[in-house]
Structure 1
Protein backbone atom coordinates (compact mmCIF):
# COMPACT_ATOMS: atom_id res chain seq x y z
CA UNK A 1 0.00 0.00 0.00
CA UNK A 2 1.38 3.40 -0.94
CA UNK A 3 1.71 6.17 1.62
CA UNK A 4 -1.02 8.30 -0.01
CA UNK A 5 -3.45 5.36 0.11
CA UNK A 6 -2.69 4.86 3.80
CA UNK A 7 -3.25 8.56 4.47
CA UNK A 8 -6.53 8.45 2.54
CA UNK A 9 -7.69 5.51 4.63
CA UNK A 10 -6.71 7.25 7.86
CA UNK A 11 -8.46 10.44 6.77
CA UNK A 12 -11.61 8.51 5.86
CA UNK A 13 -11.61 6.77 9.26
CA UNK A 14 -11.16 10.08 11.05
CA UNK A 15 -13.97 11.72 9.07
CA UNK A 16 -16.33 8.82 9.79
CA UNK A 17 -15.48 9.06 13.50
CA UNK A 18 -16.16 12.81 13.52
CA UNK A 19 -19.41 12.33 11.59
CA UNK A 20 -20.67 9.70 14.06
CA UNK A 21 -19.72 11.95 16.99
CA UNK A 22 -21.47 14.90 15.33
CA UNK A 23 -24.69 12.93 14.83
CA UNK A 24 -24.59 11.64 18.40
CA UNK A 25 -24.11 15.20 19.67
CA UNK A 26 -26.97 16.44 17.49
CA UNK A 27 -29.33 13.84 18.97
CA UNK A 28 -28.28 14.70 22.51
CA UNK A 29 -28.53 18.47 21.93
CA UNK A 30 -31.95 18.16 20.30
CA UNK A 31 -33.30 16.49 23.43
CA UNK A 32 -31.43 18.77 25.85
CA UNK A 33 -32.75 22.07 24.44
CA UNK A 34 -36.08 20.86 23.06
CA UNK A 35 -35.18 21.66 19.47
CA UNK A 36 -37.64 20.58 16.82
CA UNK A 37 -36.85 18.24 13.95
CA UNK A 38 -37.09 21.30 11.71
CA UNK A 39 -34.49 23.18 13.80
CA UNK A 40 -32.08 20.27 13.44
CA UNK A 41 -32.74 19.71 9.74
CA UNK A 42 -32.26 23.39 8.94
CA UNK A 43 -28.99 23.42 10.88
CA UNK A 44 -27.79 20.21 9.21
CA UNK A 45 -28.57 21.59 5.75
CA UNK A 46 -25.75 24.13 6.28
CA UNK A 47 -27.61 26.51 3.95
CA UNK A 48 -29.33 28.57 6.63
CA UNK A 49 -29.84 28.64 10.37
CA UNK A 50 -32.91 27.92 12.47
CA UNK A 51 -34.91 31.03 13.37
CA UNK A 52 -36.24 29.87 16.73
CA UNK A 53 -34.87 30.22 20.26
CA UNK A 54 -34.62 26.43 20.53
CA UNK A 55 -32.73 26.42 17.23
CA UNK A 56 -30.29 29.02 18.58
CA UNK A 57 -29.81 26.95 21.74
CA UNK A 58 -29.29 23.83 19.61
CA UNK A 59 -26.44 25.66 17.86
CA UNK A 60 -24.99 26.66 21.25
CA UNK A 61 -25.22 23.08 22.51
CA UNK A 62 -23.46 21.76 19.41
CA UNK A 63 -20.71 24.35 19.86
CA UNK A 64 -20.38 23.31 23.51
CA UNK A 65 -20.09 19.65 22.48
CA UNK A 66 -17.31 20.62 20.07
CA UNK A 67 -15.58 22.57 22.87
CA UNK A 68 -16.04 25.83 20.97
CA UNK A 69 -18.11 27.39 23.77
CA UNK A 70 -17.37 26.92 27.45
CA UNK A 71 -19.44 28.46 30.26
CA UNK A 72 -21.18 30.62 27.67
CA UNK A 73 -17.89 32.00 26.29
CA UNK A 74 -16.78 31.46 22.69
CA UNK A 75 -13.31 29.94 22.50
CA UNK A 76 -12.08 31.27 19.17
CA UNK A 77 -8.68 29.55 19.42
CA UNK A 78 -10.40 26.20 19.96
CA UNK A 79 -12.05 26.57 16.55
CA UNK A 80 -8.71 26.81 14.80
CA UNK A 81 -7.25 23.95 16.86
CA UNK A 82 -10.21 21.76 15.90
CA UNK A 83 -9.74 22.66 12.23
CA UNK A 84 -6.03 21.77 12.40
CA UNK A 85 -6.89 18.50 14.14
CA UNK A 86 -9.29 17.54 11.36
CA UNK A 87 -7.53 19.07 8.34
CA UNK A 88 -3.92 18.86 9.47
CA UNK A 89 -1.39 21.31 10.86
CA UNK A 90 -0.63 24.20 8.55
CA UNK A 91 -3.64 23.50 6.33
CA UNK A 92 -4.68 26.65 4.44
CA UNK A 93 -8.39 26.15 5.08
CA UNK A 94 -7.70 25.56 8.80
CA UNK A 95 -5.85 28.89 8.85
CA UNK A 96 -8.81 30.62 7.22
CA UNK A 97 -11.15 29.06 9.77
CA UNK A 98 -8.98 30.56 12.49
CA UNK A 99 -9.13 34.00 10.86
CA UNK A 100 -12.90 33.79 10.54
CA UNK A 101 -13.36 32.64 14.14
CA UNK A 102 -11.37 35.63 15.38
CA UNK A 103 -13.43 38.01 13.24
CA UNK A 104 -16.71 36.41 14.29
CA UNK A 105 -15.79 36.50 17.98
CA UNK A 106 -15.99 40.29 17.71
CA UNK A 107 -19.72 40.10 16.86
CA UNK A 108 -20.59 38.94 20.39
CA UNK A 109 -21.53 41.45 23.08
CA UNK A 110 -21.47 41.05 26.86
CA UNK A 111 -25.29 41.12 26.84
CA UNK A 112 -25.59 38.05 24.60
CA UNK A 113 -26.64 34.80 26.25
CA UNK A 114 -24.90 31.66 25.01
CA UNK A 115 -27.71 30.85 22.56
CA UNK A 116 -27.64 34.32 20.99
CA UNK A 117 -23.83 34.34 20.92
CA UNK A 118 -23.75 30.96 19.17
CA UNK A 119 -26.26 32.17 16.58
CA UNK A 120 -24.13 35.27 15.91
CA UNK A 121 -21.00 33.12 15.48
CA UNK A 122 -22.85 30.78 13.11
CA UNK A 123 -24.28 33.66 11.07
CA UNK A 124 -20.90 35.33 10.79
CA UNK A 125 -19.24 32.05 9.81
CA UNK A 126 -21.83 31.44 7.09
CA UNK A 127 -21.07 34.86 5.64
CA UNK A 128 -17.47 33.76 5.25
CA UNK A 129 -18.28 30.45 3.52
CA UNK A 130 -17.74 32.16 0.18
CA UNK A 131 -14.16 32.87 1.20
CA UNK A 132 -13.64 29.16 2.00
CA UNK A 133 -15.09 28.11 -1.32
CA UNK A 134 -12.80 30.47 -3.23
CA UNK A 135 -9.73 29.11 -1.46
CA UNK A 136 -10.67 25.46 -1.86
CA UNK A 137 -11.35 25.93 -5.59
CA UNK A 138 -7.73 27.03 -5.98
CA UNK A 139 -6.43 23.85 -4.30
Structure 2
Protein backbone atom coordinates (compact mmCIF):
# COMPACT_ATOMS: atom_id res chain seq x y z
CA UNK A 1 0.00 0.00 0.00
CA UNK A 2 2.44 2.60 -1.15
CA UNK A 3 1.72 6.15 -0.16
CA UNK A 4 -0.13 5.58 3.07
CA UNK A 5 2.58 7.04 5.24
CA UNK A 6 0.62 10.22 4.70
CA UNK A 7 -1.77 9.00 7.35
CA UNK A 8 -0.19 7.63 10.48
CA UNK A 9 -2.61 4.83 11.19
CA UNK A 10 -2.78 3.49 7.68
CA UNK A 11 0.99 3.54 7.54
CA UNK A 12 1.06 1.23 10.51
CA UNK A 13 -1.65 -0.95 9.01
CA UNK A 14 0.26 -1.20 5.74
CA UNK A 15 3.42 -2.29 7.54
CA UNK A 16 1.94 -4.82 9.95
CA UNK A 17 -1.78 -5.27 10.28
CA UNK A 18 -3.93 -7.63 8.32
CA UNK A 19 -7.11 -5.60 8.33
CA UNK A 20 -10.24 -6.87 6.69
CA UNK A 21 -11.30 -5.50 3.33
CA UNK A 22 -14.17 -3.39 4.65
CA UNK A 23 -11.92 -1.72 7.25
CA UNK A 24 -9.25 -1.09 4.63
CA UNK A 25 -11.84 0.39 2.27
CA UNK A 26 -13.13 2.62 5.06
CA UNK A 27 -9.63 3.99 5.64
CA UNK A 28 -9.04 4.47 1.92
CA UNK A 29 -12.33 6.35 1.56
CA UNK A 30 -11.52 8.55 4.56
CA UNK A 31 -7.99 9.23 3.32
CA UNK A 32 -9.38 10.21 -0.05
CA UNK A 33 -12.01 12.46 1.52
CA UNK A 34 -9.65 14.09 4.04
CA UNK A 35 -6.91 14.43 1.47
CA UNK A 36 -9.22 16.12 -1.02
CA UNK A 37 -10.51 18.47 1.67
CA UNK A 38 -6.97 19.36 2.70
CA UNK A 39 -5.84 19.82 -0.89
CA UNK A 40 -8.73 22.20 -1.53
CA UNK A 41 -8.10 24.14 1.69
CA UNK A 42 -4.38 24.39 0.92
CA UNK A 43 -4.92 25.11 -2.80
CA UNK A 44 -2.56 22.30 -3.81
CA UNK A 45 -2.04 21.55 -7.46
CA UNK A 46 -3.04 18.12 -8.76
CA UNK A 47 0.68 17.40 -9.19
CA UNK A 48 1.43 18.24 -5.56
CA UNK A 49 -1.47 16.14 -4.34
CA UNK A 50 -0.33 13.16 -6.39
CA UNK A 51 3.22 13.55 -5.08
CA UNK A 52 2.07 13.61 -1.45
CA UNK A 53 -0.23 10.66 -1.94
CA UNK A 54 2.36 8.55 -3.71
CA UNK A 55 5.31 9.12 -1.41
CA UNK A 56 6.48 6.11 0.54
CA UNK A 57 8.11 8.06 3.34
CA UNK A 58 7.73 11.13 5.47
CA UNK A 59 7.09 14.46 3.72
CA UNK A 60 10.19 16.28 2.55
CA UNK A 61 8.84 19.80 2.13
CA UNK A 62 6.71 22.30 4.05
CA UNK A 63 3.53 21.88 1.95
CA UNK A 64 3.81 18.08 2.31
CA UNK A 65 4.23 18.40 6.06
CA UNK A 66 1.26 20.74 6.27
CA UNK A 67 -0.81 18.39 4.13
CA UNK A 68 0.03 15.57 6.55
CA UNK A 69 -0.86 17.77 9.53
CA UNK A 70 -4.19 18.61 7.91
CA UNK A 71 -5.02 14.94 7.28
CA UNK A 72 -4.02 14.01 10.85
CA UNK A 73 -6.24 16.79 12.16
CA UNK A 74 -9.19 15.59 10.07
CA UNK A 75 -8.54 12.07 11.37
CA UNK A 76 -8.76 13.60 14.85
CA UNK A 77 -5.28 12.36 15.70
CA UNK A 78 -3.91 15.89 16.00
CA UNK A 79 -5.28 19.21 17.16
CA UNK A 80 -3.32 22.33 16.26
CA UNK A 81 0.25 21.09 16.80
CA UNK A 82 -0.56 18.51 19.46
CA UNK A 83 -0.81 14.83 18.56
CA UNK A 84 -3.47 13.04 20.61
CA UNK A 85 -1.18 10.62 22.39
CA UNK A 86 -4.01 8.63 23.98
CA UNK A 87 -5.74 7.99 20.65
CA UNK A 88 -2.51 7.00 18.94
CA UNK A 89 -1.53 4.85 21.94
CA UNK A 90 -4.89 3.04 21.89
CA UNK A 91 -4.66 2.36 18.15
CA UNK A 92 -1.09 1.09 18.44
CA UNK A 93 -1.99 -1.08 21.44
CA UNK A 94 -4.84 -2.64 19.48
CA UNK A 95 -2.61 -3.33 16.47
CA UNK A 96 0.24 -4.59 18.65
CA UNK A 97 -2.01 -7.03 20.50
CA UNK A 98 -3.82 -8.21 17.36
CA UNK A 99 -0.60 -8.77 15.45
CA UNK A 100 1.71 -9.78 18.31
CA UNK A 101 4.16 -6.96 17.57
CA UNK A 102 6.42 -6.16 20.48
CA UNK A 103 7.76 -2.63 20.64
CA UNK A 104 5.15 -0.91 18.47
CA UNK A 105 3.44 0.95 21.30
CA UNK A 106 6.76 2.13 22.71
CA UNK A 107 7.85 3.40 19.30
CA UNK A 108 4.61 5.29 18.73
CA UNK A 109 4.76 6.80 22.22
CA UNK A 110 8.35 7.90 21.59
CA UNK A 111 7.44 9.41 18.24
CA UNK A 112 4.49 11.30 19.70
CA UNK A 113 6.81 12.73 22.36
CA UNK A 114 9.21 13.83 19.61
CA UNK A 115 6.35 15.59 17.85
CA UNK A 116 5.20 17.15 21.14
CA UNK A 117 8.41 19.16 21.25
CA UNK A 118 7.25 21.11 18.19
CA UNK A 119 4.98 24.16 18.28
CA UNK A 120 4.12 24.18 14.57
CA UNK A 121 1.58 21.61 13.34
CA UNK A 122 3.41 21.05 10.06
CA UNK A 123 6.73 20.41 11.77
CA UNK A 124 5.08 18.20 14.39
CA UNK A 125 3.40 16.10 11.68
CA UNK A 126 6.68 15.73 9.80
CA UNK A 127 8.51 14.83 13.03
CA UNK A 128 6.12 12.04 13.94
CA UNK A 129 6.06 10.71 10.38
CA UNK A 130 9.84 10.65 10.13
CA UNK A 131 10.20 9.01 13.54
CA UNK A 132 7.60 6.36 12.76
CA UNK A 133 8.99 5.70 9.30
CA UNK A 134 12.52 5.13 10.59
CA UNK A 135 11.60 3.13 13.68
CA UNK A 136 8.89 0.99 12.15
CA UNK A 137 11.21 -0.01 9.31
CA UNK A 138 13.67 -1.25 11.95
CA UNK A 139 10.93 -2.98 13.92
CA UNK A 140 9.66 -4.67 10.78
CA UNK A 141 13.17 -5.98 10.03
CA UNK A 142 13.48 -7.25 13.59
CA UNK A 143 10.08 -8.98 13.52
CA UNK A 144 10.80 -10.59 10.14
CA UNK A 145 14.06 -12.04 11.49
CA UNK A 146 12.36 -13.68 14.47
Relative to the length of structure 1, the TM-score reads: 0.72
In structure 2, which of residues 22, 27, 31 is the aligned counterpart of residue 18 of structure 1? Answer: 27
Give the 4+ runs in structure 1 shifted more than 6 A. none
| Larger RCO, structures 1/2 (Cα 8 Å, 6+ apart) | 2
In structure 2, which of residues 74, 80, 84 is the aligned counterpart of residue 75 of structure 1? Answer: 84
Contact kept in structure 2, 1:60 and 1:69, CA below 8 Å: yes
Distance in 2, Cα, partners of 1:92 & 1:100: 15
**CA deviation after TM superposition for structure 1 residue 100, in Å:** 1.7
In structure 2, which of residues 41, 54, 60 is the aligned counterpart of residue 51 of structure 1? Answer: 60
| Alignment gaps of 5+ in structure 2 | 1-18
Question: Could you give the per-residue CA deviations for residues 87-107 of structure 1, whole angstroms, max 9, x where no partner exists?
Answer: 4854334x6442222111232
- Which residue number in structure 2 is paired with residue 118 of structure 1? 125
- Structure possessing the higher radius of gyration over alpha carbons: 1
Aligned CA RMSD, in angstroms, stands at 2.8
Contact kept in structure 1, 2:77 and 2:88, CA below 8 Å: yes
Q: Secondary structure at the match of 1:107?
A: helix
Does residue 31 (structure 1) correspond to residue 31 (structure 2)? The answer is no
Q: How many residues were matched structurally? A: 128
Does residue 103 (structure 1) correspond to residue 130 (structure 2)? The answer is no
Contact kept in structure 2, 1:80 and 1:98, CA below 8 Å: yes
| Alignment gaps of 5+ in structure 1 | 1-9
